[in-house]
Amino acid sequence: MSSHNHGSHHEPAHSHGHGHVDEDMLSVEQAYERVMARFQTLEFEEKALLDCMGQVLAEDIKSPLALPPLANSGMDGYALRHSDIVGASHENPKNLEVIGIVAAGHMPNRTVGPGTAIRIMTGAPIPDGADTVVPFEETDEVERKREGKPLDNVAVFADMPTGCNVRPAGEDISEGTLVLERGIIVRAAEIGVIASLGMDSIKVIRRPIVAVLATGDELETAGTPLSDGKIYDSNSFSVAASIADAGGIPKILGIARDSLTDLTTKLEATSGCDLVVTSAGVSKGDYDIVKDVLNQKGEMNFWSVRMRPAKPLAFGQLNDLEGRIIPLMGLPGNPVSAMVAFEMFARPAIRIMLGKKEKPRPMVGGVLTGAIKNEDGRRVYARVEVEFKDGEYRATPTGPQGSNILTSMSKANGLAICPEDLAGKDAGEQVQIIMLDWNEEVQI
Ligand code: AMP
Ligand code: MG
């Protein structure tokens, strides 16, 4: 597949001294290109409107009707003929006979002729003959009610322009128009628009099913007792949560032990998935089981990517039991590395499958409040807490940046980037920040 396919056993471990640049390493962009080249938009599915939130519309939506279907009133008031109220004022009120009432959802049963009006509610169809609605405030309606007078007549106090408060049929959408184009993301407003056209199911690009497999003899599952020498598997959880957050459907396969048979068996459960994400066992110094099995079951590449955290990355494909080819991404084992590698490579891959075009995360420019070190010429993604203060974004490193320190990921809402060609960034310097969360606190 590529010259970076290190499938052989007992590969000599390179040691990278301080500041040494490994020429074998892929840039983040190279790794990104190679991964994304293997993904494409999935097929569509048709499903209930409310279940389509966040998915990509896979059909053009044309309106089968006009919206509103009929001209209707924008106010509570009187539907009348403008010619009857020309010159009306408080000094010169125009008196009209009230011949009926129409509420929203009901059809008027009379025509408005000269000298007459129909009492009308917001959203009710405009009666034939009427061309204007005068709101109650511009009539003696309130006064009549207060005095207990019947509402069989009304005095109009204002000469409102013709068509005033009449919402024409088709004002929002005319029949047959293209209302929503395929390719857009369905949000709450689109769900509302589609429902307003009377449709309760639509075609959207289906969500990918992404298998999650942790590997390692040291792992135990949360909710079970912890034996000596073991740790709880957090990667399955953080990765599954990230898959769901990216719009995929996670399928947790559990923990594969560092044994040929167990890993082989566990990988068989990936049948029918659109992507398999494993964690651990892919770095250069690792015991070779994961690499061996992946190589046996498909075609794998083991890369070093010029980034910190998350240098090791495996990517290739598995052949499933039905002879289908499934892309597989092997994330590094360290919990922060696994999450950052997911951000950089798995999230965009999932978005391609979902048919989403724009970059997964917004970037902002901001000022660092603490230093970021770059010791060996990699692109550093530093966990930072971003806040908007005094007109600028401020990024504060969230503490120790070791790839095993998951709590500093939990405190972060962004990843600040130190480019590979800089020895670091000092407090006060400008940085680009990938926003992981974009909440009110940041948006102000
Ligand atoms: P490895 O890539 O197998 O060398 O693992 C690197 C580090 O990540 C080791 O300290 C592992 O114990 C840890 N690790 C591997 N898998 C997980 C996991 N699923 N959850 C938490 N830590 C893990
Ligand atoms: Mg391991």
**Atom number, ligand 1, closest to the C-alpha of residue 332:** 2
Say which residue, 21 or 393, is predicted with more confidence: 393
Q: Is the pLDDT of residue 440 over 60?
A: no
Cα(404) to centroid of ligand 2, in Å? 13
**Atom number, ligand 1, closest to the C-alpha of residue 255:** 19
pLDDT of residue 301: 93
pLDDT digits (tens, 9 = 90+) for 115-135: 999 999 999 999 999 999 999
Cα(287) to centroid of ligand 2, in Å? 7
pLDDT of residue 284: 77
pLDDT digits (tens, 9 = 90+) for 220-259: 999 999 999 999 999 999 999 999 999 999 999 999 999 8
pLDDT of residue 360: 77
CB 112 within 8 A of CB 130: yes
Q: Residue 12 is encoded by which pair of tokens?
A: 């000599």
Residues 6+ apart with CB under 8 A from 8: none
* Residue located nearest, by CA, to atom 17 of ligand 1: 333
Ligand nearest to the CA of 406: 1
User: Smallest Cα–Cα separation from 421: which of 29, 21, 17, 32?
Assistant: 21
Q: Is the pLDDT of residue 415 over 70?
A: yes
pLDDT of residue 290: 81
pLDDT of residue 80: 98
Residues 6+ apart with CB under 8 A from 240: 212, 250, 252
Q: Is the pLDDT of residue 19 over 90?
A: no
User: Smallest Cα–Cα separation from 444: which of 388, 360, 406, 380?
Assistant: 388
Which of 279, 311, 337, 403 best tests ligand 1's pocket when mutated (most atoms within 8 Å of CB)?
Answer: 279
Going by their DSSP bridges, the two strands 116-120 and 209-215 should be labelled as unpaired
Average pLDDT, the chain: 92
Q: What does the alpha-carbon distance between residue 80 and residue 186 come to, in Å, rounded to a whole number?
A: 41
Cα(126) to centroid of ligand 2, in Å? 73
pLDDT digits (tens, 9 = 90+) for 91-114: 999 999 999 999 999 999 999 999
H or E element in which residue 443 lies: helix 440-443
Q: Is the pLDDT of residue 369 over 90?
A: yes
pLDDT of residue 391: 94
Q: Please tell me what DSSP assigns to residue 197.
A: T
* Helix pair angle (260-268, 289-297), 10° resolution: 40
Q: Is the pLDDT of residue 417 over 70?
A: yes
Say which residue, 141 or 24, is predicted with more confidence: 141
Q: Is the pLDDT of residue 358 over 80?
A: no
